[in-house]
A and B are shown apart, each in its own frame.
Chain A
């Protein structure tokens, strides 16, 4: 609200050098700055509240978990985890792992060459190809799910993990191509030309010039694909039942049957969330870069 002229003198000395790190207004007007900070923290804590509740409750006994308002300082217990792992969630967890990892690998194997060809050597018409990829991001999953279901039924692919792997691969391909392309656009043309003049082979060019620049892009694309596949619920719910059910499907079933036992379900939820939490925070900055670059460029 109130920026004062006082700031001009306040910012001038340090401002220029710290070009990236910082804010323009270091000398905040004290009161409104405090209020803003307070507000931001309240918003942040509200966002995390359900997650804190989940973590806390998962380590409580059922009796303590059932009290309302939540008993924050109740003694910790692993009862919930014991019951959850006692219910044999391993096939579902393993299915999720298989589907997410394999589909992510497949996505990268398919998306990288495509993105490379599209960004390093786009024939002019290939902008259309890029837009084709982008446009498929607009297809609602619900709209395509009926044919996918009917086809799987005919081909005896219902409740088959490979069908899910294939679909997750397809689902994540467009976004991966877009992300990788935006990273590949950063590769210096001069370097590529120099490599060509030197007679470097394609594989050598890829390894020594392209890979170093694109590695962060590949990493963030991989993480995003992993997270999307791990979290996917609608396709898994419709196309699998017992054999190929993934952990989100297992969890929804668990909530239905055990919903009143909060500690158990919270423990289950936390276990199912751990892989994506790990993936997300392992590369938070890259995640940001990958998503926003893929989206904007």
Chain B
């Protein structure tokens, strides 16, 4: 901890710390990296390096979220009586949100959306593609990943237009392709549409991450398993999955959070018809920005934030319990 600049300080813990089956300085490097001041950067300079980024994130990312907490306690609207003088209503917004059937429905739809499109859809499809790529030839793999990546990389505004055109009742390409006439997909099956849409949109990330993850599986382990007569499925279950467990957890966390906060269903269905596809971010947007109920919208934002936090904590717990295995 002392602001020592001597490399000797880094070597010091080694003899006591590790009863050293492996001689040599190699064993000490990870510790040195973690504890010591390797290059003599100095504490002051190190703090100065981190501070600007930290301040910016604090002021423009964390502080607004905290402000949301405060706004959620007010009866504050863009129009009407709440506009001039916001009144402190305590937990009023929260109790009315929690007793509002529209909120409950929105929460249910969000869970359906996240579970169907991210946890199941993107995860499974992304893993399957990555798994297929292992055995595929290089050009095939490269071409296919580019095709899948297209959907991920395009601007949301472009993507929304493409899907609207695709699903259009009269001139939609989908109706023409599968021979259905006059099928208003976004109206008749709004949830199915946004779930399929999000699978299409987001699978690339899981695919890329799992492709990288699967390349870390030691070939020798698979070889041994195959010699022992393990089927493909057994290799997958007993060798591959345990190795990439952490990747699966991390990936699932990230796509869960992204999907949870995803606003793009609004661009496809507008939350409708009749709130049938109104996931939480859309609900907030409609309440706060369109409806002008800032206090109420903020309260729900905070509930969304809490949901995110719960997911993250569960994930960190799961990850912690794996750590001894991995290290």
A interface residues (Cβ-Cβ under 8 A, vs B): 1-3, 5, 7-8, 15, 19-21, 23-26, 28, 33, 36-37, 40-41, 43-48, 50-51, 53-54, 66, 68-70, 110-111, 113-114, 116-118, 120-124, 126, 129, 132-133, 135-151, 166-167, 169-171, 173-174, 177, 185, 189-190, 192-193, 195-197, 202, 205, 227, 230-231, 233-234, 238, 247-249, 251-252, 255, 259, 262, 265, 269, 272-273, 276-277, 280-281, 284, 287-289, 291-293, 295-296
Return chain A residues, CB-CB under 8 Å to B60: 148, 166-167, 170
B14 in contact (CB, < 8 A):
no
Return chain B residues, CB-CB under 8 Å to A171: 61
A144 near B61 with CB under 8 A, answer: yes
A150–B295 alpha-carbon span in the complex (Å): 12
A177 near B173 with CB under 8 A, answer: no
17 contacts between A and B (CB under 8 A): A3-B231, A24-B223, A28-B135, A68-B176, A111-B53, A132-B54, A136-B61, A142-B261, A143-B65, A149-B289, A171-B61, A185-B33, A202-B39, A233-B156, A252-B160, A289-B212, A292-B208
Instruction: Point out the residue from B50, B52, B147, B301 that lies within 8 Å of A140, measured CB to CB.
Output: B301
Return chain A residues, CB-CB under 8 Å to B309: 138
Return chain B residues, CB-CB under 8 Å to A36: 132
B50 near A292 with CB under 8 A, answer: no
B73 in contact (CB, < 8 A):
no
Given A251-B161, A265-B161, A281-B146, 15 new contacts (CB under 8 A): A47-B203, A48-B150, A54-B158, A117-B49, A121-B39, A144-B65, A146-B71, A147-B71, A177-B53, A192-B39, A233-B263, A276-B155, A288-B208, A291-B209, A292-B213
- Look across to chain B and name the residue whose beta carbon is closest to the beta carbon of A12: B223
Instruction: Point out the residue from B34, B267, B298 that lies within 8 Å of A124, measured CB to CB.
Output: B34
A276 near B153 with CB under 8 A, answer: yes
B277 in contact (CB, < 8 A):
no
- Look across to chain B and name the residue whose beta carbon is closest to the beta carbon of A109: B52
B interface residues (Cβ-Cβ under 8 A, vs A): 1, 5, 7, 10, 25, 29, 32-41, 43, 45-50, 52-54, 56-57, 59-65, 67-68, 71, 125, 129, 132, 134-136, 138, 140, 143-151, 153-166, 170-173, 175-177, 200, 203, 205, 208-209, 211-213, 215, 219, 222-223, 226-227, 229, 231-233, 235, 246-247, 250-251, 254, 257, 260-261, 263, 267, 281, 284-285, 288-289, 294, 297-298, 301-302, 304-305, 308-309, 312
Return chain A residues, CB-CB under 8 Å to B209: 291-292, 295-296
Known: A3-B231, A121-B46, A296-B250. A43 touches B129 (CB 8 A): yes
